[in-house]
Amino acid sequence: CECDDGTAFMHCKRVPGSCTVNGLHYTAGEHFKIDCEFCMCYGNDIVKCEKTFCPCEVKGQIILHGENIIDDSDPNGRVIYQCNDGKEVVIERRQERSQNQLKEPT
């Protein structure tokens, strides 16, 4: 950042051919990432970003957007999670019947 008084990061002015995003400075043509978006600085604070979906971490495993993972370790039964742009969503929960519930009455 060029500064009017010669000191760093004091009274900074806009520098042609650069971009400032979230306090970080990029030169024209430089690519960078914000969350799950891939961005490029076009100079004069013009930034264009391409949205991509974020992956999820579910039960210690990384899964991609739209993928499901089945968890049979839940003591209440089977749980199916789906990754929705970086957030895990429970799409199905099946309670397993105990052995007592499965027995025919005598």
Distance CA 81, CA 63 (A): 10
What is the pTM for the complete model shown? Answer: 0.56
Query: 88: closest CA among 76, 71, 105, 106?
Result: 71
pLDDT in tens, 14-45: 567 899 999 999 999 999 999 889 999 999 99
pLDDT at 76: 80
Q: Please state, rounded to an integer, the average pLDDT across all residues of the chain.
A: 80
Query: How many CB atoms are located within 10 Å of the residue 58 CB?
Result: 18
